[in-house]
Amino acid sequence: MYQPLHLKYRPKKLQELVGQDTIKTTLTNAITSSQIARAYLFTGPRGTGKTSTARILAKSLNCLNSKKPTATPCGECSSCKTIDSSSSLDVTEIDAASHNGVDDARELIEHSNFAPAMSRYRIWILDECHQLSTSAQNALLKCLEEPPAHVVFILCTTEVHKVLPTIISRCQTFNFRALSVDAIVGQLHKISSAESIAIAPEAMRELARICDGGLRDALQLLSQLSLLNSEITLTQVAEVSGSISEQDSIALLKAIHSGDTLSVLQSSRTLINSGKSPKLILSSLLTVMRDLLVVKSTRHSQNLIAGSVGYSQLRSIASTLDFETIDAACAQLQKSEVQLRTSTNAAIWLEVCLLNLMRKSDRDRAVKETRLPATSQSKVSDKFDKNHQKIEVDSPDFETTWAQVVAAAKPANRALLNRAKIAELSADSCVLAVEKKYANKFQTHLASVQRIVTKALGRSVTVTVKQQKELAA
């Protein structure tokens, strides 16, 4: 009969556990020194080995080929075989989701008083124990604290915050952590070789990355991909898992950076029509932007990449962007992610978000290109200070720069800013010329105006306001 990979390669001994070295060492030493706790609590994400470890611990305690508990159960005696097949009289696995009432807890307590039929210990494994009702958990408190000498409880849960603190305090707690990408890749390589499954190295790494630290999920997906009967590629992993491929991510990113509105809308619509959710598209784009920040910040960042885009591609894209632009894009995407979650039309909101992101990229590039060179700024300042001559308010360079400042401001502030013009601009100061009737209003909101100008120009600038007749004098 066909056996899924995650069951076929389920660990049989503590030494076979993947990515849980501390837990493996602690339990091995506890069994070897006969320091067996009355109750254990295994917590952690799905697919990290909690239930498998509970079964291994049960076999270690009850292996009949050893005179005492052993860290290396034989796997051949009747006790080990019945535990593996879930038919042991002395090891009972209970699904707490379907046996979560106080009556179930009372029945468990009553049966725990019976001596084991053929083994050393009577072991109860409560899977997803957080599903037990509050009354059921309270009913188990006394039994967990002082169980019969022949009883061991093993509680497993993915949501330890739902377990009563009084239960946790009566158990030895072992926190199973999500497996690293390298640990999952190592196991996938081992199993794919044993099963003669052809898979490209980059596809294997992408498979490990998208499973969020769960080895069981990775093996399930590998089993499904193996049915393609060809070498598993990066594109196939993206298609089967429903993630965004590297090519799609790069195409969307380049369309945004180049300001190609049609390509941006077509790319997003194509992804949505292929079954990708707007939330997934936005989250994938945010991950790529995060990777760009990492690549922009440090040289040796190959092992820090979290998205689907390769390191060489990220380096190429990052070379055309500055850090501030990427950081602003991350902030915009994170803000839009919250709005997307509450939107009634997520696809339309995604397109609006991408267009705003593209417009912001264009505006930042335009502002950068229109900044005055430092030498030119100092000459204008010197002329005004030394010769006391009127600076031409209608200078073409000043008009363009101020237009960019107004465009970068919020719509509510543009009406006021349109009443001013740049009279003088240097490296750290800006003099605005305004009509007399608007001078008081500008002075009142001077701090806000200074923040707007500073943000638009990309450097700290002190803003002062003068009436046009003062400049003329």
**Residue 360 to residue 351: CA distance in whole angstroms:** 14
How much is the pLDDT for 153? Answer: 94
How much is the pLDDT for 397? Answer: 66
Contacts of 260 (CB under 8 A, 6+ apart): none
**Residue 289 to residue 323: CA distance in whole angstroms:** 11
Measure CA of the first residue to CA of the last residue in the chain; give whole Å: 97
Mean pLDDT on 329-354:
80
Q: What CATH number does the domain located at 374-472 have?
A: 3.30.300.180
Task: For residue 379, give Cα distances in angstroms to 30, 395, 447.
Answer: 79, 14, 27
DSSP sequence for 154-178 = EEEES-GGGS-HHHHTTSEEEEPPP
Q: Say whether pLDDT at 59 is over 90.
A: yes
Phi, psi (rounded to 5 degrees) for 4: -55, 150
How much is the pLDDT for 160? Answer: 92
How much is the pLDDT for 123? Answer: 93
Domain 246-368, CATH class in plain words: mainly alpha
Higher-pLDDT residue of 125, 449? 125
Q: Say whether pLDDT at 344 is over 50.
A: yes
Q: Say whether pLDDT at 395 is over 90.
A: no
Q: DSSP 3-state assignment of 21?
A: helix
Q: Which CATH number fits domain 181-241: 1.10.8.60, 3.40.50.150, 3.40.640.10, 3.20.20.330?
A: 1.10.8.60
Mean pLDDT on 52-70:
92
How much is the pLDDT for 257? Answer: 80
83-108 pLDDT per residue, tens: 988 888 999 999 988 888 899 999 99
How much is the pLDDT for 167? Answer: 93
Range with the lowest mean pLDDT among 11-25, 32-46, 353-367, 420-434? 353-367
CATH architecture of the domain covering 5-175? 3-Layer(aba) Sandwich (3.40)
Residue 85: CA count within 13 A, CB half-sphere: 11
How much is the pLDDT for 376? Answer: 39
Task: Quote the pTM value.
Answer: 0.67
How much is the pLDDT for 60? Answer: 93
How much is the pLDDT for 361? Answer: 54
| pLDDT band with cut points at 50, 70 and 90 for residue 473 | very low
Task: For residue 40, give Cα distances in angstroms to 98, 156, 162, 194.
Answer: 21, 8, 16, 34
Domain boundaries of the chain, sorted by first residue = 5-175, 181-241, 246-368, 374-472
**Residue 268 to residue 109: CA distance in whole angstroms:** 57
**Residue 163 to residue 133: CA distance in whole angstroms:** 10
Burial of residue 26, with CB atoms counted within 10 A of its CB: 0-12 exposed, 13-18 middle, 19 or more buried = middle
254-293 pLDDT per residue, tens: 888 877 888 888 888 888 888 888 888 888 888 888 888 8
Residue 126, beta-bridge partner list: 94, 155
The size of the chain, in residues, is 473
Average pLDDT value for the chain: 83
How much is the pLDDT for 185? Answer: 92
**Residue 252 to residue 158: CA distance in whole angstroms:** 36
154-196 pLDDT per residue, tens: 999 999 999 999 999 999 999 999 998 889 999 999 999 999 9
**Residue 234 to residue 209: CA distance in whole angstroms:** 12
Q: Say whether pLDDT at 351 is over 60.
A: yes
Mean pLDDT on 122-145:
92
Q: Say whether pLDDT at 398 is over 50.
A: yes
How much is the pLDDT for 22? Answer: 93
| pLDDT band with cut points at 50, 70 and 90 for residue 359 | low
Question: Is residue 50 within 8 Å of residue 156, measured between CB atoms?
Answer: yes
Q: CA Rg, the chain, in Å?
A: 33
